[in-house]
Structures are given as structure tokens and as C-alpha cells.
């Protein structure tokens, strides 16, 4: 065994102490008929060979592409200090701070994470983190049901499709989920249909616990958050904002429009894409909902001598104490990813974070102009920050041809939202501060000549139905 | 050993000085945000701290030194399997090809990751004796929810709507009953038998047409293999229910017992326990789920599929309509799964068997040392698996020193305390799990420390009541923390409660 300490003499000494001849005797409780024969697995691999195998696998992934793919996971510049802090064994080889006297590092770092996210969202209570943005959104929706004792949640179709799928799974235990449609055309095309929201809220027989919108939306558009919050509150429902944390440096925070809960994906805060995880589920709420929020919370307190210190608190909500009446079954949090987000935020600071968001917006405007000139204009007219939809006839084929030319041309919307005919020709593309002018040129230069793309098409947005 | 930091640290906010820290990203053009409507913009910038990088590094390095970790000392936290986290695995997960892969990238651009995940599915199926595996669940608790939702879907697919209960032994992790509730079931708690095992007769009496599932941790949270598991599984299936195995204690049975072959319908695997992916101070983990034939159609989507030409791809949206859907975004905690894969390939079949043998041997040896000494109660006179329960109930009666006190005093000896007051079924419980990566010298030193504390409990109990003495802080005021929660930094926090060091 590569990491084991025991010499044959050590094992012999232990067996002798136990008065047994073979370790097999320790497994006598396994019924004979149920004992496993053997494991059909490859032989152990020495570190050198294993490292070669792993590097070869990693090399099979393409890292040469000019990527404009976001859709919930974003490339950013992560200062190397973030990963170097994370590589300290005192962080990553510790566990849940059950013994606070020897866990003040982790506890203080979580308290600081909670405080940093409270600053970003404007909400006072931030959980120590959840699995990812989708799971945090599902937990937020469940919170609204517990808090209002109602069973129906409305979620906008402009919330990430995978988040909506996750909501459906979590609501499989008997709660109701309805989707709010999008505006089909005109200036507000692609945004959540506020009139439809009003109608859905008006069904007296089916009172609504919570309303869920994303800002920016999955399609990159800025949503009427203030209007939606007002309508939700008028109907006695809570409002959940699904947020992207970097955008909060420049966009109105959830507290500003009166959201009760914010959920979101913390990956953009210094966490690599890693083919989907581990990520960081952000969950925040107002003080009024503190007893409803699931997951760990760390608070400031004192030790018995009055020294300031940090501890997990309000634990009566949690599964190990409350068991079947707990607020959630969640046990762990994503402490190491919360640490990454904290180091990232402290490394870039308030001005740096604003620069990241604003530079992404500037690069995105450059991308919009370049693509429009190359024959792929925006599909919608509403305001966006750094992600938007372009119309490319035959989007799926075009996307494949772009890949052959070294460009990852965003996301084919038909693949993820097949029930929205208005998005059939849509590619969801994004830019961030790491997007270069050269990459934008590669994308734009690759477009003419692709199936269905007319070079030099009118750059003005087309009010296509969504 | 243990915690090296002595001084508490000011917060990031106290270290902040306006104007510090810059140079990470270029400045945007002045009009970058001019196209955003004013009412959508933020009025005031967030009050994030401003630090230069040297200050930032010192902050986090000094904070880290206030932590106990596997890399600093013995961490026998029962049921958590705090084994060594191999460094190769950290390197592997950070290879740019793995780390920078976008989860929505086309399959042809991520063949390396997909191949790794597909192989991992196969390896985990072999270890668990199951037919198929989903890598999606982000943690053990989410794996449990996945399993119970699949069981729900299975009964629903048969039109069997009467099954509303999940049976759980009283020694179970709290996540089991909490999971059953989340999935819309009623939990029925079944008392354990005197030998620490599940009470098969009590279970059989409770089983019936209303039972959807039983959730069994095997080996149990007492560190005991369920000797009557075969009978129990037969009874469960005879009642038309399905059997869930909580795989938290898989480290004890690698290559010795396969849940699927034994008749379990579904189990989850904690990669952060058995397969050494780091615990990260509380996460991330990963909780892959394996299932037998009956539940395979219901597995979450997407799974990784191998095509006949040897290429790999994710299942497409809607490809398997019987799936319960997804539990989270994307395919899973891939970064964690890369580490688990590396661990599994490093060990191979014989290495994994040795992991289990050494973990079980170490636990029995430690248990023997304590039994022999006699200061602590060691209930259940039988071989344990990879962990065992000791109890300070007798010590408490004799000296007034409780398990909590013993735990805190262990900190002074340079050890992380075991899991305490769990399982709930044993008074003054200490759940001790040494793992296979701790040397005999460490096991002996830990036994000696526990024995010394018991002696000290008789001679000088006050020292123990007031422990720890060497940690950066003494015991904490948890009552005030809960009564007047201070969950975030505010401008006045530092004045009201300044950093003591």
C-alpha cells in the first residue's frame, strides 16, 4: 500500500496483541455466504507511472480553444496567491471545526467569508456555503416553503436550466413548481414576463411561497428584479435572487431591491472550472429568516476567559441534532471553496472586483460589435453585463465548425432550452477580463462562411421571438 | 504536532487600510458600464477589505496555523476516516487540462476527463458490487437523497403509492432521517439490539406495505459489521421495500464485502472518507451512488457513456426519461473525483484490500489497548471493524470527568479528539477511527495519552475540566453565540470585541 506505515513486524505485533493468527479473523462477522471473492481492478501503479497516466489524460482535454463559453461557469484571472494558500495542509486536510479550540483558522475564515458575502449581497445572514449554485437555489426555494408554510414556488424560465432541473428534483417530495415564461418579443424580449408573474401570483387557490429570478439571467439579460420583488411581496411570497457574485461589484445587490434570499454560484470567485466542481453554493438571507436557513453558520463569541473567538452556531437547525426535523440533510459545506472565494475577494479588493466586472462588460461590448459585423447580431435588445445571445442560423452546425477552427463559440441554446423556439438559432456567448482582442478576432474571423452566416449583416439587434 | 499557532488573528476587515492592494487586473475603460441602466447599478461599492498581498499571505498563513489537520497530527475522528491525503492527487487535480475544462464544453474537447470519469464509474461499480454508478452527488448527504429519491421513483413507477415510511436504526447518522424527510417520507427509528447490531426482529416487525426503504449503515456507526445483514435484506425485500446502504464506513470492507452482491439496492460512497480526497475543513466531498438492476433506470443524469468507437460522452438531455433528474449542476465534483481516481489507481485491488486490513487491524489494536487498561468502557465484546466506540461513562461516575473533558484534554497531548457523543445510543461515547495511515508508534502514543488522562481524572480532575490549556483559545461560550448571533463583521464589531492578540 503506497501510503501505509506498517511493516510486517508492526502487523505481527498487533496480531500478537490481539491473540490472532491472521487479520482474516477480524472479518468473521461477515457471513460466509456474503464474503466478497476479490476485486477485479488493475494492479497498483507506482507514482511515476500514475503521474504519466494522469498527465496524458489531462492532455486529451483541449486547452487551445478561444473560449466564449460561460453559462454559469466563468473563466477569470485567479491570482496565484489563492491556490498557494489553499495548498496549505492546515486548510485542506482539516475537517469540520467540531473542536473549535483547534479550528479557529477554519472558523474565522468562514466568518470572514460570511461577512464578505454579506457585503456583496447586502443580506445579513450567509451560510457557510452549499454544494453549488443549483443546490443553493433549491435550498432557497425550500426555505421559502418552510417560512411561509406554502407549497408552491415560481421560477423564471430565465434561470439556468440546470438549476431548474435541480429544483424539480428537490421538489419531487411533494412541493409544486411553476415556471414563469419569458417575454416573446419587443424591447424586453428574453426577460421574465412580469405580467405573467402577476397572473401566476393571482391564483388564490394556490398561494405562492417564493419567486425565483436570476440577475443577470441565464441569457445574460438584466431582469426587472425590483418589479418582481414588489409583486412577490404583495402576494405574501418571498423573493429569491439568483446572483453571480462578480457582477455584484457593479450591479444593484439583492438587498437594494428587497430580496429576501440570494443564492448563486461562487465559482467566479477564484475557483477553476474543473469540469463542473467542486464549486461554491452561495446562500444568504435577511435576519428575519435566520432560523430557516440550512447549512452551517459560524458566529463570533468569546472563550471562557473572554477572548474573542469563533464557533459554529444555531446548530439546532442541523441534521446531526434535529435529525428528521432538520432544516436540510446537508452535513458538510464547501469550506475550502469558501476559503478560495475569500482569498480571491481580499486579493482583488473592492476596486479590483469592480474592475473585473467592468472590464468583462467592456470586452463583451467589443465582442458584440465584432460578432455583429461578422454576421451574428444579438438576439435581444435588453441590457446585459458580459454575456448575451447572438443569432447564428444553424447554430449547432456553426458551433461545431467553429470548434474545428479553434473557437469554442459559447453554448448552443437549443441543446439546453429545446422548448424555446425563439432561441433555436441562439448561441450564448460571454466575455470576461481574460478575453483578449485576439480571441475576439479569431471568433469573428471564423464566422463568415459558416453555414447560414451572412457576413456584414445588420449589427442592430433583431427583435426575434423568444 | 497539533496546532502550531498561538496567537489569534485580527480579521481581514481589521487588517484593511483604504488604498492598499492593487495591480491584479487592468483598469477598464471609463465608459465600460455606461450602457447599463442607472437603476440596475450599485450605488455604493461593497465594503470589501483592502490588503496588499504580503499582508494577505500572513493573514491566511497565520490563521492556518490555528487549525489541527491530518498534515499536522493524529485525527481519529470516528466515522470521518481522516486518512492521509496523497500529494500526487493535489497535483493531478490542478493539471490545466483537468482544472480549466469547462463543464459545458463539447464532449470531443474533454475526452480525457470523460475517460477518467467513465473508468471511475466502472471501478466504483466493482468495489460496491453494483450494476451502475452516478458520480453526480456532491457529498454523502446528497448521495443519500439521490438514493431515496430513486427508491421513491421506483415505487411510483410500479404504481405503489402506499409506501410512506423509511426505517432507520437509532444509531444512524443524522443525515439518514433528515434525508428521508427531505424526500417526503416519514422516518421510523428502530432501536438497536444489545450486541450493537440492528435488531432484525424489531425491523421485521416494523416492515410492511407502508415501508419504502430501510437505510442501514454497514458496518454500523458503532464500527460493527451487521452479522444478520443477510436475514435483514431478505425481510426487506419480502416486504416489497428496498435497502439503502450508507457507505460512510466503506473503508472497513474494501474487497471483503460488496453491498450490491449481498443484496443492497443502492449505496453511496464518500470519496472524502474511503478514497482520501481531502476534507477541506468541511468540504468539498463527493458522494457517488451505486445501484443494482432495479434502480439503474432512475440514476441521475447525466452519466458518462462509452461509445462503441471508444469515445466518451455525457448522456444528453432527456436521453433517459426514467432518470430522477439532476441533484446539482453539471456532472459532479470532478476535481474531487480526479483525486479519488488517482488514489484508486495507486492502490489497485491488492492495495485497497490492504487499506481495509490495516485500518481494521489498527482499530482492533487500539481497542485492545484500551480494553486491556480498563479505565474506559469498551462496550460490545467482539471484533470491531475500522473504528470502535469507547465510553467515559464509568470514568464520569468515578471522577466526574466526562467524555467532553477527555476530548479537550487530548488536545493538550497533541491529538485531535475522536468523534464524541455519537452514536447517540452509547452514553458518553467516543467514536475512535485510527485509519490505516497511522503508525504503530502513533497508535501507542494515543492509547497512552487516553490512559494518562484517565489517571489524571482521579488525581487532578480540575486540570481536565479546564482543558485545553495549550490551544489558542479555551472552551467557547456557545450559549451566547446562539442567543445573540454575530454572524458577520460590521464596522463596530472590532470596537465591541477587539482581537485579543
Which mean pLDDT values do the consecutive 10-residue runs of chain B (501 residues) have? 85 96 93 97 95 97 98 97 98 98 98 98 98 97 96 96 95 91 93 88 94 96 94 96 97 98 98 97 96 98 97 93 95 98 97 98 98 95 96 97 98 98 94 98 98 98 97 93 93 85 74
Q: A332 pLDDT exceeds 80?
A: no
Q: What is residue B496's predicted lDDT score, i.e. its pLDDT?
A: 86
Contact in structure between B236 and B168 (CB atoms under 8 Å): no
Bridge partner residues of B169 (DSSP): B190
What average pLDDT does the segment A360-382 reach? 97
Among residues A79, A139, A102, A111, the alpha carbon closest in space to that of A282 is found at A139
Q: Return the CATH fold of A81-343.
A: 3.40.640
Q: What is the DSSP string of A115-169?
A: HHHHHHH--SEE-S-BS-HHHHHHHHHHHHHHHHT--EEEEETTS-HHHHHHHHH
Q: Nearest Cβ partner of A61 from B113, B149, B342?
A: B113
Contact in structure between A95 and B22 (CB atoms under 8 Å): no
Q: Nearest Cβ partner of B229 from A31, A134, A252?
A: A31
How many Å lie between the alpha carbon of B458 and the closest alpha carbon of chain A?
24
- With CB atoms and an 8 Å threshold, state whether A278 touches B336: yes
Bridge partner residues of B170 (DSSP): none
End-to-end Cα, chain B, rounded Å: 22
DSSP class of A44: P
A residues 55-74 closer than 8 Å to B (CB): 55-63, 65, 67, 69, 71-73
pTM of the model: 0.97
Contact in structure between B291 and B130 (CB atoms under 8 Å): yes
Give contacts of A129 with chain B, Cβ < 8 Å. Answer: 283
- Sign (positive/negative) of CA torsion A143, B104, B86, B58? negative
Q: What is the CATH number of domain B89-344?
A: 3.40.640.10
Q: Hey, where are the domains in chain B?
A: 89-344, 350-476
Report the alpha-carbon distance of residue B8 to residue A455 in Å, rounded.
Answer: 63
State the Cα torsion B404-B409-B411-B416 to the nearest 10°: -50
DSSP class of B198: B
- With CB atoms and an 8 Å threshold, state whether B487 touches A297: yes
Q: Return the CATH fold of B350-476.
A: 3.90.1150
| Segment (H or E) for A8 | helix A8-18
Pairing of strands B132-134, B289-291: antiparallel
Grid coordinates belonging to B7: 496567537
Report the alpha-carbon distance of residue A19 to residue A438 in Å, rounded.
Answer: 72
Ramachandran sector of residue B202 (left: φ over 0; alpha: ψ -120 to 50; beta: rest):
alpha
Q: What is residue A328's predicted lDDT score, i.e. its pLDDT?
A: 80
Question: What is the interface pTM, i.e. ipTM, of the complex?
Answer: 0.97
Residue identified by cell 478514497 is B275
Closest-approach residue (CA) in chain B for A73:
B102
Report the alpha-carbon distance of residue A241 to residue A249 in Å, rounded.
Answer: 15
Q: What is residue A461's predicted lDDT score, i.e. its pLDDT?
A: 45
Q: Chain A contact for B415, CB < 8 A? A: no
Q: Nearest Cβ partner of A347 from B53, B142, B226?
A: B53
End-to-end Cα, chain A, rounded Å: 58
Q: Chain B contact for A234, CB < 8 A? A: no
- With CB atoms and an 8 Å threshold, state whether A116 touches B57: no
How many Å lie between the alpha carbon of B379 and the closest alpha carbon of chain A?
16
Give contacts of A362 with chain B, Cβ < 8 Å. Answer: 28-29, 32
CA distances from B240 to A86, B158, B209, B233 (A): 48, 11, 7, 11
Q: What is residue B6's predicted lDDT score, i.e. its pLDDT?
A: 83
Give the residue from B87, B102, B273 with the most A CB atoms within 10 Å of its CB, the best one to mutate: B102
- With CB atoms and an 8 Å threshold, state whether A63 touches B482: no
Grid coordinates belonging to A33: 455466504
How many Å lie between the alpha carbon of B399 and the closest alpha carbon of chain A?
23
Report the alpha-carbon distance of residue B434 to residue B365 in Å, rounded.
Answer: 10
Report the alpha-carbon distance of residue B70 to residue B91 in Å, rounded.
Answer: 18
Among residues B194, B205, B249, B261, the alpha carbon closest in space to that of B225 is found at B249
Residue identified by cell 461554491 is A280
Q: What is residue A464's predicted lDDT score, i.e. its pLDDT?
A: 38
Give contacts of B212 with chain A, Cβ < 8 Å. Answer: none
Map residue A7 onto helix, strand or coil.
coil
Report the alpha-carbon distance of residue B149 to residue B135 in Å, rounded.
Answer: 16
Q: A145 pLDDT exceeds 70?
A: yes
Q: Hey, where are the domains in chain A?
A: 66-73+349-446, 81-343
Q: A323 pLDDT exceeds 90?
A: no
Grid coordinates belonging to A393: 442560423
Give the residue from B328, B332, B369, B431 with the most A CB atoms within 10 Å of its CB, the best one to mutate: B328
Q: Nearest Cβ partner of B96 from A50, A63, A79?
A: A63
Pairing of strands A308-312, A298-302: antiparallel
Neighbours of A235 (CB within 10 A): 18
Map residue B422 onto helix, strand or coil.
coil
Ramachandran sector of residue A348 (left: φ over 0; alpha: ψ -120 to 50; beta: rest):
alpha
- With CB atoms and an 8 Å threshold, state whether B177 touches A323: yes
B residues 17-76 closer than 8 Å to A (CB): 20-22, 24-29, 32-33, 35-37, 39-43, 45-51, 53, 56-57, 59-61, 63-72, 75
Q: What is the pLDDT of residues A89-113, one digit of tens each?
A: 999 999 999 999 999 999 999 999 9
Contact in structure between A448 and A72 (CB atoms under 8 Å): no
- Sign (positive/negative) of CA torsion A178, A182, A188, A191? positive
Report the alpha-carbon distance of residue B442 to residue B227 in Å, rounded.
Answer: 31
Pairing of strands B132-134, A407-408: unpaired
Residue identified by cell 454575456 is A387
What radius of gyration, in Å, describes the C-alpha atoms of chain A?
26
Report the alpha-carbon distance of residue B212 to residue A158 in Å, rounded.
Answer: 36
The more confident residue out of A141 and A172 is A141
When the candidates are 3.90.1150.10, 3.20.20.100, 3.30.70.3340, 3.30.1490.20, the CATH number that belongs to A66-73+349-446 is: 3.90.1150.10
- Count of all residues that appear for chain A in the document: 466
Q: Nearest Cβ partner of B326 from A2, A65, A169?
A: A169
Among residues B310, B304, B292, B296, the alpha carbon closest in space to that of B330 is found at B304
Contact in structure between B102 and A273 (CB atoms under 8 Å): yes
| Segment (H or E) for A302 | strand A298-302
User: Distance from CA of residue B279 to its chain's centroid?
Assistant: 7
Give contacts of B486 with chain A, Cβ < 8 Å. Answer: 299-301
Q: Chain B contact for A77, CB < 8 A? A: yes
Contact in structure between B254 and B135 (CB atoms under 8 Å): no
Q: A27 pLDDT exceeds 90?
A: yes
How many Å lie between the alpha carbon of A410 and the closest alpha carbon of chain B?
9
Give contacts of B66 with chain A, Cβ < 8 Å. Answer: 102-105, 108
- With CB atoms and an 8 Å threshold, state whether B261 touches A36: yes
Give contacts of A16 with chain B, Cβ < 8 Å. Answer: none
pLDDT band at A322 (very low <50, low <70, confident <90, very high): confident
Report the alpha-carbon distance of residue A313 to residue A71 in Å, rounded.
Answer: 35
Backbone φ, ψ for residue B387 (5° rounding): -155, 165
A residues 115-134 closer than 8 Å to B (CB): 115-116, 118-120, 124-126, 128-129, 131-134
Neighbours of B400 (CB within 10 A): 13
Q: What is residue A337's predicted lDDT score, i.e. its pLDDT?
A: 98
Give contacts of A11 with chain B, Cβ < 8 Å. Answer: 358, 361
Give the residue from A22, A82, A105 with the most B CB atoms within 10 Å of its CB, the best one to mutate: A105
Report the alpha-carbon distance of residue B196 to residue B223 in Å, rounded.
Answer: 9
Q: A331 pLDDT exceeds 80?
A: no
Q: What is residue B500's predicted lDDT score, i.e. its pLDDT?
A: 82
Neighbours of A64 (CB within 10 A): 8
| Segment (H or E) for B96 | helix B96-99
pLDDT band at A466 (very low <50, low <70, confident <90, very high): very low
Report the alpha-carbon distance of residue B202 to residue B251 in Å, rounded.
Answer: 28
Among residues A74, A30, A200, A157, the alpha carbon closest in space to that of A420 is found at A157
pLDDT band at A329 (very low <50, low <70, confident <90, very high): confident
- The full 3-state SS of B445-460, as one line of letters, equals HHHHHHHHHHHHHHHC
User: Distance from CA of residue A12 to its chain's centroid?
Assistant: 50
Give contacts of B112 with chain A, Cβ < 8 Å. Answer: 56-61
Farthest-apart Cα atoms in chain B, separation: 77
- With CB atoms and an 8 Å threshold, state whether A304 touches B476: yes
What average pLDDT does the segment A49-54 reach? 98
Farthest-apart Cα atoms in chain A, separation: 86
What average pLDDT does the segment A445-459 reach? 71
- With CB atoms and an 8 Å threshold, state whether A355 touches B342: no
Neighbours of B353 (CB within 10 A): 20
Closest-approach residue (CA) in chain A for B98:
A58
| Segment (H or E) for B133 | strand B132-134
The more confident residue out of A174 and B237 is B237
- With CB atoms and an 8 Å threshold, state whether A356 touches B25: yes
- Sign (positive/negative) of CA torsion A198, A204, A206, A207? positive
Grid coordinates belonging to B422: 455519537
Grid coordinates belonging to A155: 421560477
DSSP class of B190: E
Residue identified by cell 475577494 is A345
Q: A452 pLDDT exceeds 70?
A: no
Q: Nearest Cβ partner of A359 from B28, B230, B473?
A: B28
DSSP class of B467: -
Q: Nearest Cβ partner of A163 from B142, B261, B329?
A: B329
Map residue B236 onto helix, strand or coil.
helix
Q: A462 pLDDT exceeds 70?
A: no
Q: What is residue A315's predicted lDDT score, i.e. its pLDDT?
A: 82
Report the alpha-carbon distance of residue B282 to residue A318 in Å, rounded.
Answer: 14
- With CB atoms and an 8 Å threshold, state whether A166 touches B328: yes
Q: What is the pLDDT of residues A216-267, one digit of tens each?
A: 999 999 999 999 999 999 999 999 999 999 999 999 999 999 999 999 999 9
Amino acid at each position: 500500500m503506497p501510503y501505509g506505515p506498517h511493516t510486517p513486524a508492526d502487523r505481527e505485533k498487533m496480531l500478537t496483541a490481539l491473540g490472532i493468527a491472521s487479520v482474516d479473523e477480524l472479518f468473521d462477522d461477515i457471513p460466509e455466504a456474503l464474503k466478497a471473492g476479490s476485486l477485479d481492478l488493475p494492479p497498483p501503479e507506482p507514482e511515476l507511472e500514475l503521474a504519466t497516466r494522469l498527465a496524458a489524460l489531462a492532455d486529451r482535454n483541449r486547452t487551445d480553444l478561444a473560449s466564449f463559453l460561460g453559462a454559469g461557469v466563468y473563466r477569470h484571472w485567479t491570482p496565484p496567491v489563492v491556490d498557494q494558500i489553499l495548498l496549505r495542509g492546515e486548510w485542506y486536510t482539516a475537517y469540520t471545526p467540531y473542536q473549535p479550540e483547534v479550528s479557529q483558522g477554519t472558523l474565522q475564515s468562514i466568518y470572514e467569508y460570511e461577512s464578505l458575502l454579506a457585503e456583496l449581497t447586502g443580506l445579513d445572514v450567509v451560510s457557510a456555503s452549499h454544494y453549488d449554485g443549483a443546490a443553493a437555489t433549491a435550498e432557497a426555494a425550500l426555505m421559502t416553503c418552510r417560512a411561509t408554510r406554502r407549497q408552491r414556488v415560481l421560477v423564471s424560465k430565465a434561470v439556468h436550466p440546470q438549476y431548474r432541473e435541480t429544483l424539480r428534483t428537490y421538489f419531487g417530495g411533494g412541493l409544486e413548481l411553476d415556471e414563469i415564461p419569458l417575454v416573446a418579443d419587443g424591447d424586453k424580449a428574453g426577460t421574465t414576463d412580469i405580467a405573467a408573474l402577476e397572473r401566476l401570483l393571482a391564483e388564490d387557490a394556490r398561494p405562492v411561497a417564493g419567486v425565483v429570478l436570476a440577475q443577470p439571467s441565464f441569457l445574460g439579460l438584466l431582469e426587472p428584479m425590483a418589479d418582481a420583488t414588489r409583486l412577490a411581496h404583495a402576494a405574501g411570497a418571498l423573493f429569491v435572487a439568483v446572483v453571480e457574485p462578480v457582477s455584484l461589484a457593479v450591479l444593484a445587490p439583492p438587498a437594494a431591491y428587497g430580496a429576501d434570499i440570494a443564492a448563486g454560484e461562487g465559482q467566479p470567485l477564484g475557483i477553476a472550472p474543473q469540469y463542473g466542481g467542486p464549486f461554491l453554493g452561495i446562500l444568504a438571507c435577511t435576519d428575519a429568516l435566520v432560523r430557516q436557513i440550512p447549512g452551517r453558520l459560524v458566529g463570533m463569541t468569546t472563550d471562557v476567559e473572554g477572548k474573542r473567538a469563533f464557533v459554529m452556531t444555531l446548530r439546532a437547525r442541523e441534521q446531526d441534532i434535529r435529525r428528521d426535523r432538520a432544516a436540510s440533510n446537508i452535513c458538510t459545506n464547501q469550506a475550502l471553496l469558501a476559503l478560495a472565494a475569500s482569498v480571491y475577494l481580499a486579493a482583488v479588493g473592492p476596486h479590483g472586483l469592480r474592475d473585473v466586472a467592468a472590464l468583462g462588460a467592456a470586452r463583451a461590448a467589443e465582442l458584440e460589435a465584432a460578432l455583429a459585423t461578422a454576421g451574428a447580431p444579438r438576439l435581444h435588445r435588453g441590457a446585459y453585463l458580459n454575456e448575451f445571445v447572438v443569432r447564428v442560423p444553424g447554430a449547432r452546425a456553426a458551433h461545431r465548425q467553429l470548434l474545428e477552427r479553434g473557437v469554442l463559440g459559447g453554448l448552443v441554446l437549443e441543446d439546453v432550452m429545446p422548448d424555446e423556439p425563439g432561441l433555436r438559432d441562439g448561441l450564448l456567448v460571454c466575455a470576461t477580463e481574460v478575453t483578449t482582442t485576439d480571441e475576439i478576432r479569431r471568433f469573428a474571423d471564423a464566422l463568415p462562411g459558416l453555414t447560414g452566416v451572412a457576413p456584414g449583416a445588420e449589427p442592430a439587434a433583431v427583435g426575434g421571438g423568444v | 504536532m497539533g496546532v502550531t499557532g498561538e496567537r489569534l488573528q485580527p480579521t481581514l476587515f481589521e487588517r484593511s487600510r483604504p488604498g492598499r492592494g492593487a495591480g491584479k487586473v487592468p483598469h477598464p475603460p471609463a465608459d465600460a458600464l455606461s450602457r447599463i441602466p442607472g437603476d440596475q447599478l450599485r450605488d455604493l461599492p461593497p465594503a470589501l477589505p483592502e490588503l496588499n498581498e504580503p499582508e494577505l499571505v500572513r493573514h491566511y498563513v497565520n490563521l492556518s496555523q490555528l487549525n489541527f489537520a491530518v498534515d499536522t497530527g493524529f485525527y481519529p475522528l470516528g466515522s470521518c476516516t481522516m486518512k492521509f491525503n496523497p500529494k500526487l492527487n493535489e497535483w493531478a487535480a490542478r493539471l490545466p487540462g483537468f482544472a480549466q475544462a469547462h463543464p459545458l464544453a463539447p464532449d470531443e474537447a474533454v475526452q480525457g476527463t470523460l475517460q477518467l470519469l467513465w473508468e471511475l464509474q466502472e471501478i466504483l461499480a466493482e468495489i460496491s458490487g453494483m450494476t451502475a454508478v452516478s458520480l453526480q452527488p456532491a457529498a454523502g448527504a446528497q448521495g443519500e437523497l439521490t438514493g431515496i429519491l430513486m427508491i421513491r421513483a421506483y415505487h411510483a413507477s410500479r404504481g405503489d403509492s402506499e409506501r410512506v415510511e423509511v426505517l432507520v436504526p437509532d444509531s444512524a447518522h443524522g443525515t439518514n432521517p433528515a434525508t428521508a424527510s427531505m424526500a417526503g417520507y416519514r422516518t421510523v427509528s428502530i432501536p438497536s439490539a444489545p450486541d450493537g447490531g440492528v435488531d432484525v426482529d424489531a425491523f421485521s416487525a416494523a416492515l410492511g406495505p407502508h415501508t419504502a426503504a430501510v437505510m442501514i449503515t454497514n458496518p454500523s456507526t458503532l464500527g460493527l459489521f451487521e452479522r444478520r445483514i443477510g436475514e435483514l435484506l431478505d425481510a426487506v425485500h419480502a416486504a416489497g421495500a428496498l435497502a439503502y446502504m450508507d457507505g460512510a464506513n466503506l473503508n472497513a470492507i474494501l474487497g471483503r464485502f460488496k453491498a450490491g452482491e449481498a443484496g443492497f439496492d443502492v449505496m453511496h460512497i464518500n470519496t472524502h472518507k474511503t478514497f482520501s480526497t481531502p476534507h477541506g475543513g468541511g468540504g468539498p466531498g463527493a458522494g457517488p451512488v451505486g445501484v443494482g438492476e432495479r434502480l439503474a433506470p432512475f440514476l441521475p443524469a447525466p452519466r458518462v457513456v462509452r461509445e462503441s468507437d471508444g469515445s466518451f460522452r455525457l448522456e444528453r438531455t432527456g436521453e433517459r426519461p426514467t432518470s430522477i433528474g439532476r441533484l446539482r449542476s453539471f456532472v459532479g465534483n470532478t476535481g474531487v473525483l480526479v483525486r479519488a481516481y488517482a488514489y484508486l489507481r495507486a492502490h489497485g485491488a491488492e492495495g485497497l484490500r490492504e487499506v481495509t486490513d490495516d485500518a481494521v487491524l489498527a482499530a482492533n489494536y487500539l481497542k485492545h489497548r484500551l480494553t486491556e487498561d480498563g479505565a474506559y468502557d469498551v462496550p460490545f465484546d467482539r471484533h470491531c471493524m475500522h473504528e470502535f466506540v469507547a465510553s467515559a461513562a464509568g470514568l464520569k461516575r468515578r471522577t466526574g470527568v466526562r467524555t467532553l473533558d477527555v476530548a479537550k484534554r487530548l488536545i493538550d497531548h497533541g491529538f485531535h479528539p475522536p468523534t464524541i457523543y455519537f452514536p447517540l445510543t452509547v452514553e458518553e461515547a467516543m467514536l475512535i477511527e485510527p485509519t490505516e495511515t497511522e503508525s504503530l508508534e502513533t497508535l501507542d502514543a494515543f492509547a497512552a495519552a487516553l490512559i494518562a488522562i484517565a489517571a489524571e481524572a482521579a488525581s487532578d480532575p480540575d486540570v481536565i475540566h479546564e482543558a485545553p490549556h495549550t490551544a489558542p483559545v479555551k472552551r467557547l461560550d456557545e450559549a451566547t453565540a446562539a442567543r445573540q448571533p454575530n454572524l458577520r463583521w460590521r464596522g463596530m464589531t472590532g470596537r465591541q470585541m477587539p482581537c485579543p492578540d
